[in-house]
Structure 1
Amino acid sequence: MKKFFGYILTPIHYLYFGLILVVFHPIQWLSLKWGGYTSHKRSVDILNLFLTSSCYILGNTVKFINNQHLPANRSIIFIANHQSMYDIPPLIYFLRKYHAKFISKIELASGIPSISFNLKHGGAANIDRKDPKQSVAEILKLANNMKEKTWSTIIFPEGTRSKTGIMKPFAVGGIATILKKVPDALIVPIVINNSWKMVQYGFFPLHTFSPMSWEVLTPIEPEGLTAEEVVKLAEEAIKAGIKQ
């Protein structure tokens, strides 16, 4: 039955989702040109609120749980499992006060209305996976901004999305590079549940009537720990929070 409703509701969802991207592209451009970073960021926050709301067209729900008292004046490395592209808008919107930037594939920085513009001009690290030197330089640029501007970052250490909700092993590389530059950054795990179901059948039809959740877990102080130990602790905490 959920798949049946998916055939009906998915075209409406994509029409709404695409319209949001097209409308906010010039809004972002104008915001950046006239108001600089602050105005542009505000437009991106609102963009992602609308993108998050697109899930409700399919009868899916978004629940973001944050019972942690996170510092606003300290850089944070948010570490999350990755289940679908629908992981991202709620993270941007609900973590907006922390100026969290993504490490993204360079291919996404061109050709996609709104999304590519934000990746180019919003402070993300756009890495070419075929060029390790360029990738490290981009991550270091992000790390410097975190250090100088108290920005944060959101990292998916699995590298690629899990199509079944079963978490893949975490890689340490990008997190280790940032911690070298920003050793006092707070590590905050986030567990994402059920967003993989949105694309359980592929991109058409999308899944319907599923409860999805994002939960901020207990922060990890990196002092006295290696990058490997930090990532291992985050991985274990997130794995324990995944609902099968």
Structure 2
Amino acid sequence: MPRPFSPFRFAKRGLDYILSALYLVYFGLVLLVFHAIQVLTFWLGGRAWQQHAASAMNAGLVYGQWLTGTTSRFRFATTLPSDRPLIFVANHQSLFDIPPMGWWLRAYKPVFVAKKELEYGTPSVSYNLRKSGAALIDRQDARQSLGELGRLGGRLKTLDCSVIIFPEGTRSRDSMPRPFAGAGLAILLKKAPNSLIVPVAIDGTGRFNPEGLFPLRSFSRLSWTVLAPIDPAGLNAEQVAEQARQAIAATLERGGSQSGS
């Protein structure tokens, strides 16, 4: 049975289209401008300068969401150590999960595990993945994936970076995460066995773009909560992945990621 006509819903839908168009034009311009800036900074100062430019790009994407009336909150529910490698494990709802993590976790020099299809084709994003040393994995090529994750694990061991991985493998549109795969964690932990696994609960991004990039849902509330680390000692990778998933799911069920700032 169709829902009755609502002037409020009609007006809100129209506003979603207008504000989404405004933000997506801004979004595209940020990617284009910062692609040129990243190329220039890498040429002048190498990876370190380029990563500062990438962080500024992420900040621009995050705060630009104000154009849609949307706000983001990032909360640390724990204090993270600086003397152990960190693997941030997050649920995955949307491409909008990523810029806030790159911005608010910048002090930890985060490097992403991403699909190889992103290596080329997207201004700024593809360039940053290549120059940051991200693990760009081909899911159809196990040997290539093992090599990429092993290389990144070697960097992780030296505290040269932290790692951000989305172990669901695909996006979950609802609020509850899908099962987490432990294969990627297993390789990273083999290379850097003293790493801590840090769950990050992401809430609201799937509702922000429920129909793809257009239209977005204006006046959304998005949140990220960094949870207490998991020490993997005595656990296999599947157990670690499941502990991280349960911690994230419990946070989302409580609505805890919506509190704090």
Answer whether TM exceeds 0.5 for this pair: yes
- Could you tell me whether the CA contact under 8 Å between 1:72 and 1:97 is conserved in 2? no
**Normalized against structure 1, the TM-score is what?**
0.96
Confirm whether residue 49 of structure 1 aligns to residue 59 of structure 2: yes
Which residue in the other structure is 1:65 paired with? 75
Mapped partners of 1:44, 1:109: distance in 2? 15
The one-letter code sitting in structure 1 at the alignment partner of 2:68 is L
Aligned-partner residue type, residue 65 of structure 1: R
Q: Which residue of 2 aligns with 1:239?
A: 249
Q: In structure 1, what is the Cα distance between the partners aligned to 2:181 and 2:34?
A: 34
Matches within 5 A, 1:55-204: 55-204=65-214
For 1:3 and 1:213, locate their aligned partners in 2 and report how far apart those are by CA, in whole Å: 23
Supply the AA of the counterpart residue of 2:64. S
2:27 maps to: 17
Q: Please, what is the CA RMSD of the aligned residues?
A: 1.3
Distance 1:149 1:220, change over 3 A: closer
| CA–CA separation in structure 2 for the residues paired with 1:170 and 1:227 | 10
- Distance across 2 between alignment mates of 1:239 and 1:75: 24
1:30 corresponds, among 40, 45, 50, to 40
In the other structure, the counterpart of 2:4 is none
Determine helix, strand or coil for the equivalent of 1:242: helix
Q: Cα offset for 1:190? A: 0.5
Structure 1 residue 69, shift from structure 2 partner: 1.2
- Structure 1 contact 164–200 (Cα < 8 Å) conserved: no
Q: How far did residue 67 of structure 1 move? A: 3.2
C-alpha distance in structure 1 between counterparts of 2:244 and 2:124, whole Å: 31
**Segments of 4+ moved more than 4 angstroms:** none
Q: What is the identity, as a one-letter code, of the residue corresponding to 2:131? A: H
Retained in 2: the 8 A contact 1:73–1:150? no
How far apart in 1 are the matches of 2:133 and 2:125? 12
Structure 2 counterpart SS, 1:20 = helix
* 1:149 shift after superposition: 4.1
Shift of 1:14: 0.7
> How many aligned residue pairs are there?
244
Deviation at 1:164, TM superposition (A): 2.2
For residue 110 of structure 1, what is the amino acid of its counterpart? Y
Unmatched runs of 5 consecutive residues or more in structure 1 = none
Give the Å deviation of 1:131. Answer: 1.0
Is 1:6 aligned to 2:16, yes or no? yes
> CA separation in 2, counterparts of 1:54 and 1:196?
18
TM-score (norm 2): 0.90
Mapped to 2, the partners of 1:119 and 1:83 lie a distance apart of 20
| Unmatched segments (≥5 aa) in structure 2 | 1-8, 256-261
Q: Which has the larger radius of gyration?
A: 2
